[in-house]
Amino acid sequence: MTDALTNELPTLRRQAGRWIAASRPRTLLLAVAPVFGGILLAVADTGNLAFFTAVGTLIGAAGIQIGTNLHNDAADFERGTDTADRLGPPRASAQGWFTPAQVKRAAHIAFLTSFLVGLLLVVRGGFPILALGGAAIAAGYAYTSGPRPIAYGPYGEMFVLGFFGIAAVAGTYYLQTLSLSAGAISLGIALGLPAAAVLLLNNYRDFDTDRVAGRRTLCHVLGRPAARYVYAGLLLAAVPLMLFGGLPGSAWPVLLALPMAATLIRRLFAGADGRDLNRMLGETAQYQALLVGLYAIGLLIGTVLGLF
């Protein structure tokens, strides 16, 4: 029995590693950073933290992100979008690691987990949270499913701005405070812009293969030259929104994120492609997280200065 288990361990580890890769853990930053931002803002406004609500919100957001990733993996393969010419990281269905049915089943489990956690959050937040959570899960399915998938048209960036920015921050803030504020909307837009830049960059990288597969993303509507300027605008606009968006505390440390934004923009305009674009996708998500971290530092500095 022990020998059999020992012999199975390498296979189990390989399968576990493949499932982790299929869930695209690097994208989780885009799901949890806005939640952290909403929590920070709520604590700054009220001085209180609903800890277990915060944990539940993070789990729910992560589950929706993982479910969307897995469903996207299977749906893109079935539609013939993920081919051998694709420049991005390997996908589970396309690589034959798992069947599309298995990947979709895993997506259903991730969405179900978020739904169950969401029911607990509804106890605190009521109908608005039920509606928001249901819409987020429905959008996760609709991203690459249905007769007109979101990912196959020019409105994907708006979808990301709405759900990975405004809804994530404002929904988290509401769960903490049971109210909304103009600052929560401003911060939601600010953090949603770099999230939208991640999708824009993803579609910029896949421009040729997406066109063959019948996609008409914002990049195809604008063309690559104009898309570069939109990417730059999405990164840069987040900073003044955080500086002048009516946020509590001191937001000036977010200015320290500008060198990173400038570096990413320069690399894209210098002709980044292939693997460099893959690296830039992760770094653009890190830029969003950096904004949250710098704002947290600003709040801490403001708190310390307020003690003297």
In single-letter form, the type of residue at position 116 comes to L
pLDDT reported for residue 306: 57
Tell which residue, 265, 288, 35, 3, has the closest CA to residue 167.
35
Please give the Cα distance from 296 to 287 (Å, whole number): 14
Q: Is residue 283 part of a domain?
A: yes
Average pLDDT score over the chain: 88
**pLDDT exceeds cutoff 50 at 55:** yes
Q: How confident is the model at residue 307 (pLDDT cuts 50, 70, 90)?
A: very low
Q: Identify the pLDDT of residue 197.
A: 97
**Contacts for 232-235: CB closer than 8 Å, 24+ residues apart:** 232/265, 232/268, 232/269, 234/193, 234/194, 234/196, 234/197, 234/200, 235/193, 235/194, 235/197, 235/261, 235/264, 235/265, 235/284, 235/287
Q: How many CA atoms are closer than 13 Å to the CA of 9, on its beta-carbon side?
A: 6
> Which has more pLDDT, 7 or 171?
171
Over residues 218-266, the pLDDT tens digits come to 999 999 999 999 999 999 999 999 999 888 888 899 999 999 999 999 9
**pLDDT recorded at residue 230:** 97
In a domain, 4, yes or no: no
* Residue 10 in domain: no
Does residue 270 surpass a pLDDT of 70?
yes
* Alpha-carbon gap, residue 136 to 142, rounded angstroms: 10
**What pLDDT, in 10s, does the model give residues 87-134?**
667 778 887 888 889 999 999 999 999 999 999 999 999 999 999 999
Show Cβ contacts of residue 114 under 8 Å, excluding neighbours closer than 6 positions.
59, 60, 61, 63, 64, 67, 133, 136, 137
Q: Is residue 71 part of a domain?
A: yes
pLDDT digits (tens, 9 = 90+) for 25-50: 888 899 999 999 999 999 999 999 99
Give residue 3's pLDDT: 55
Band of residue 76 on the pLDDT scale cut at 50, 70, 90 = confident
Position 106 in a domain: yes
Split at pLDDT 50, 70, 90, the class of 5 is very low
Question: pLDDT at position 269, please?
Answer: 95
**Which structural domain range is residue 285 located in?**
19-306
- Specify the number of domains making up the chain: 1
Tell me if 290 is assigned to some domain: yes
Task: Examine residue 13 and state whether it is found in any structural domain, yes or no.
Answer: no
pLDDT (average), residues 287-308: 83
At 161-189, the pLDDT tens digits run 999 999 999 999 999 999 999 999 999 99
pTM for the whole structure: 0.90
Residue 1 lies in a domain: no
Q: For residues 187 and 247, is the Cβ–Cβ distance under 8 A?
A: yes
Question: Tell me, what CATH number does 117's domain have?
Answer: 1.10.600
